[in-house]
Amino acid sequence: MQHIYVNFKRFDVPASYGGVNRLSAIDSYASTIIQKIYSDLRIYKGKAEFVHFYPEAELASAVKAAEGSDVLSIGAQGVYRSDITPGGNFGAFTTNRPAAAVKALGCKAVIIGHSEERNDKNEILAMGGNTDRKTVNRILNSEAKCAFSQGLDILYCIGEKDTELDDWERVLAEQLEIGLEGIDLSRVVIGYEPVWAIGPGKTPAGREYIVKIARFVKSVIGSVPVVYGGGLKEENAAMLGSIDEIDGGLIALTRFSGEIGFYPDEYLRIIESYMKAKEDSI
């Protein structure tokens, strides 16, 4: 089974406000995308699962639009490190999204440890003088445990920065071992993000490097699916699909020049290219 994810970040913000949404009004952004892709995704039933991570404002409409789908499910972009407890905290988490709320909305999955989330937590800790990277992994572990307790599937992201390339094995091992301590891995997929290779002007990770990392991950925690989180796109879809050790990918933008953004027709082309290469390699 292949696992294809999309992280919509804040792609729902209209271009007139500085965002990249040229598809629809903001209140129908998620439903517009789902309507445009749903019938095309059905041909991959039994071969791949598709999970879309929307911002919180889009979750209810996205869940409704995907209702009854047997190939597409909706996920949240994160959960808080504490959760609602019957007879205890009823939800006093202002500005934070507990896993119980994500579950109640109808979401099936959550993304935890994305490089942007890790950066945010590291920056906050650094303001107080804490530069111990293990701290972030412990926070993420608390989030993962909350998600797991609510029955949510987890896309757990790991990755090394350019300053960590000489120490990548220890960095990734810590992220895996601390972040997933006590978690049933049957509901976990690992998303590998080569942080040093993501962004304009940076050299993408090559096939040999990706294979090395995927094999390392599976040597640390067993046969858990590993997807490429450095950006599954048209340029690398066929290459990634041909790698036996890779079980899918994480998509963000589909267009990186001109009117950048996420476009459903380009998304479908990425999936077609990836799945064809995967089938050809079997």
pLDDT confidence of residue 104: 97
pLDDT confidence of residue 199: 78
Whether the Cβ atoms of residue 55 and residue 75 lie closer than 8 Å to each other: no
CA atoms within 13 A on the CB side of 110: 28
Cα gap 74→77, rounded to integer Å: 10
pLDDT confidence of residue 166: 93
The pTM is what? 0.96
Eight-state DSSP code of residue 150 = T
CATH code of the domain containing 116: 3.20.20.70
Rounded to the nearest 10 degrees, the angle between the axes of helix 264-281 and helix 29-41 is 30
Q: Residue 110's domain spans which residues?
A: 2-281
pLDDT confidence of residue 253: 95
**Tens-level pLDDT at each residue, the chain (282 residues):** 999 999 999 999 999 999 999 999 999 999 999 999 999 999 999 999 999 999 999 999 999 999 999 999 999 999 999 999 988 899 899 999 999 999 999 999 999 999 999 999 999 999 999 888 899 999 999 999 999 999 999 999 999 999 999 999 999 999 999 999 999 999 999 999 999 998 777 888 999 999 999 999 999 999 899 999 999 999 999 999 999 999 999 999 999 999 999 999 999 999 999 999 999 887
Kindly compute the dihedral angle of the four CA atoms of residues 129, 130, 131, 134, in this order, to the nearest 10 degrees: 180
Those residues whose C-beta lies under 8 Å from the C-beta of residue 55, and which sit 6 or more positions away, are: 8, 9, 10, 12, 77
Q: Which residues are designated catalytic?
A: 114, 193
Structural domain total, the chain: 1
